Structures are given as structure tokens and as C-alpha cells.
Amino acid sequence: MATPSTPRPRTSTRDPEQLRARLTDWIDGWLPGATATGLTVPQSNGMSSETVLFDLLHADGRVQPCVLRLAADPDAYTVFPRYDMARQYRCMELVAAHTKAPVPRLLRLETDPAVLGAPGFLMERVDGRVPPDVMPYTYGGNWLHEASDAERAELERASVAILAELHTAPVAEAAFLRSSAAGETPLRQHVNEQRAYYAWVAAGHPASPLIERAFARLEQLWPADEGETVLSWGDARIGNVIYQGFTPAAVLDWEMAALGPRELDLGWFVFLHRFFQDLTVAFGQPGLPEFLDRQRVVAQYAQASGHTPQDLGFYTLYAALRHAVVMLRIGYRQIHFGEALVPADPDKLIMHRDTLEAMVEGRYWN
């Protein structure tokens, strides 16, 4: 991600006009007389799956705000090796059918890459606001930072409650999320998938000593009891939620969904805030140090779910490790596009290097 001293990395190599033409032809094929108007690609678009906003103008004049999610452009040095849009679509269907967690209304899935240039799906656009990543909501000048302590507390409680609600989705209906990685438990399979992802990221590049130390430390901290397996959202963070006021109105972004312990999501939820908070402090601002406190989040989740989270030291370290692999890939991506130079030490590409190192050494939460 960008910081005050670094430019925002490139997010796409797609031609907007070509995409507009493809979208128009696609819509005409299943909704004759309708057209796409006002197509925009948000500046805040991520570096993984792409988001395209437009209004669907029906033949009767009705306007339906929509969002198109497309698999990442394979020519854009993708962050992940695979983008299964049908899998994301099925996750959202499952959550909508079996939980009270809010997800956007799904409209159509397209699995043929020839139609839109990549597989993707269409959903209704939900009004509201999202805590920004660029610049992070921990910096001043955005709606969440300028909110009162009471309003942020309301958002925190409601967001943790949504996380607990997502975990009530029936695992029996989520067999499509089962991992093909080796391992006797969902957690072991999850970690083995991350090892394979790291090997893919590092192929042709120097290995990351810090990431390899973190994997070794995980083994030392491995939970004695991995607990219940649930549907794990994957990218569980407030930056993937649309809020109306301070209430969640839609849960977004399911490309990292999996099966595993509840604490996979809790560790990621807590760590991603710490990532932004530590970055903000490093640039001389106070940030939001009391927001999304780990102990309070654990207590709120226990109250909402009836499950007392365990081994958060392991799971926050694992979240920091997973994020480090993503950061390493984004760093190599910037080098690929000429946006950065190759460092002598690959660990310098990990933006939260100090945080991860402190977690590996067991001194971060102290």
C-alpha cells in the first residue's frame, strides 16, 4: 500500500474502454434493452480482484447501482496465483442463505473469461462508507478517525458481532472450500497452503529470512487444541465492510475464504488494525491506539459467539506472517513495473518488518 513517502502501486493494466464494450455486450445477452452507464474504476481499487462501479439502466428506465468484481488481470503480475470467482460467489450465497450477516445482493456470475476478459460476478451496490486503506483510517482527516470514541466503540462491537455471525454458516454446505493441501486438520492444511504461496512468491527471488523464521516460530506455538472448524471469511477486517452510520451494511471480499478455526479471522481482524496503527505511529501520528484492542475484541467475540478464543499469540503471528508474504509479492510487483528498485535485503520489502520480527521474538504484545 502507499504511504506518505511512496506512490500507490499500480492496480491494473486493463483498458477501460475495452472493458466498457465487453460489459455492454454481456448485459445485452441476458438483459436485452439494458445498458451500463457511468462506469468507473475506483482509485481505491485493490491490487487483487478488480472492482468496477456502474449503473445498470433498465429498459423501463429503472436505474440499478451495480458492482462488477473481476478476477485480477493476469498481465498485471497478480498478487495471488489463482482467482476463483465462482468460489467467492458461492461463499456469498451461503452467507446470505444461512446467516444474518449482510452481503450485497448477487445478480449474475460469469465464469467464461472470454466474455469480460476475466471471470467475474455482478452484485448490487450498497450505499455507505468504508474505512479507507489509502490513506489508512488511522490517519487524520477521514470519517472514522474523526468519529467520537463512542461511535468507534459502536462500530467495533457491531463488526465483531458480524464476525461471530459469519461463523455460524453451516460448514456442511461449504465443502467447496475444503483445501487440497496436505495436512490432517484444516489449520495444518491452511498453513501448508501458505507455505506453498510463499514458495510461489519467492520463486526466482532471494528467500526472506524473516518469513522463514516466522514459519519456524509458528511450529513452536502450534495450538494444542485447534477447536471447531468454521467458514473463515479470510480477509476479515473493517476495510472490507460497508457501514451505514456505524452499523455494518455489507461484508465484502471473499477471495481468501477457507475452512479453519474461528481464530484465523480473529487474528487477521486484530492484526490488520495493528498494521495500520503501527504504520501511522511510524510516521509521527498517534493513530487510534485504543481502537480494536486485542483483549477487548476477544471478549466481545466471546460474548457474541459463546466461544472463548484461544492462542491469539499464534493466530496474530500467523496473520502477520501471511500479510508479510502478500507484502513481499507486492514489493516484487512494484519492482516488475519499475516502481521500486531491488533491495539487497528482501525483508525490506515487508512494510511491517519490525512488527513481524517483534512477534517472532515474543515481545510485540508486551
**Category of 65 on φ-ψ map: left (φ > 0), alpha (ψ -120 to 50) or beta:** beta
User: Residue 364 phi/psi, 5° resolution?
Assistant: -70, -50
Residue 8: what pLDDT? 46
Q: What is the pLDDT of residues 150-183, one digit of tens each?
A: 999 999 999 999 999 999 999 999 999 999 999 9
C-alpha cell of 270? 486484530
Active site residue 311: no
* pLDDT score of 3 more than 80: no
Residue 4: what pLDDT? 45
* pLDDT score of 45 more than 90: no
Q: What is the pLDDT of residues 289-299, one digit of tens each?
A: 999 999 999 99
Average pLDDT over residues 276-298: 96
Residue 75: what pLDDT? 78
* 187 — pLDDT class (breaks 50, 70, 90): very high
Lowest-confidence pick of 7-21, 81-95, 336-350: 7-21
Each domain of the chain, given as residue ranges in start order, spans 16-124, 149-360
* pLDDT score of 275 more than 50: yes
State in Å, rounded, how far the first CA of the chain is from the last one. 27
Under CATH, to which class is 16-124 assigned? Answer: alpha beta
Indicate if 149-360 has the same CATH topology as 16-124. no
**pTM of the complete model:** 0.93
Residue 2: what pLDDT? 44
Q: What is the pLDDT of residues 190-246, one digit of tens each?
A: 999 999 999 999 999 999 999 999 999 999 999 999 999 999 999 999 999 999 999
* pLDDT score of 107 more than 50: yes
Q: Which of 28, 235, 265, 311 is catalytic?
A: 235
* pLDDT score of 11 more than 90: no
Residue 111: what pLDDT? 97
Q: What is the CATH number of domain 149-360?
A: 3.90.1200.10
